[in-house]
């Protein structure tokens, strides 16, 4: 049985508090950066623009899409920047189906230098500019959802419909 807090010395209380801080920092570090979701791919951070849950993009900024937008339809206006950020280096660079509706404006895959081997930490991204009214799909694929781990059904393809109105 440990002594009650009122009976422990100030030095011992400070030591316990310091150990609690170190343990919390270690746990946060272990869970950050390359934490895995259910399919072994890194979990996406919160998106600044909830384009997947909103029927239209914000008039004040770009439409930012991530894994949560998969299977949705996003409505944007001509001139809107559409940014796709897929969290995991196993994704191919997202591509658009119709450059007359969504013109590519750059993209690629960046890998985190501090990622443990086999985790696929990084981001596959692409930028598009909405040009004129129409519909286009943004797609990406991945065969692996972790080191030597094939993706379960429904986890290897990313497809978002973008309607420019």
Residue ranges of domains in the chain: 8-165
pLDDT of residue 148: 75
- The DSSP code sequence of 67-117 is GGGTT-EEEE-TT-EEEEEEESTTSPPPEES-TTTEEEEEEEEEE-TTPPT
Torsion angles phi and psi, residue 10, rounded to 5: -60, -35
Low-confidence stretches of the chain (pLDDT beneath 70): 1-60, 117-119
- Identify the CATH class of 8-165: mainly beta
pLDDT of residue 5: 47
Largest CA distance in the chain: 75
Residue 153 and residue 141: Cα distance in Å, rounded?
A: 12
pLDDT of residue 7: 57
Strands 95-96 and 102-111: unpaired
pLDDT of residue 10: 52
pLDDT of residue 122: 84
DSSP SS3 for 142:
coil
Q: What is the pTM of this model?
A: 0.63
């Amino acid at each position: 049985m440990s002594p009650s807090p009122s009976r422990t010395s100030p030095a011992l209380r400070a030591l316990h508090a310091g150990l609690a801080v170190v343990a919390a920092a270690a746990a946060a570090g272990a869970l950050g950066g390359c934490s895995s979701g259910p399919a072994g791919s890194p979990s996406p951070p919160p998106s600044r623009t909830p384009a997947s849950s909103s029927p239209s993009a914000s008039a004040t900024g770009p439409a930012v899409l991530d894994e949560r937008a998969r299977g949705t339809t996003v409505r944007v206006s001509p001139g809107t920047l559409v940014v796709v950020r897929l969290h995991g280096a196993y994704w191919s660079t997202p591509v658009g189906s119709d450059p007359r509706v969504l013109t590519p404006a750059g993209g690629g895959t960046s890998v985190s230098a501090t990622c443990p081997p086999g985790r696929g930490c990084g981001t596959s991204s692409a930028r598009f500019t909405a040009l004129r009214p129409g519909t286009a799909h943004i797609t990406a694929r991945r065969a692996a959802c972790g080191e030597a781990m094939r993706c379960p059904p429904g986890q290897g393809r990313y497809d978002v419909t973008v309607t420019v109105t």
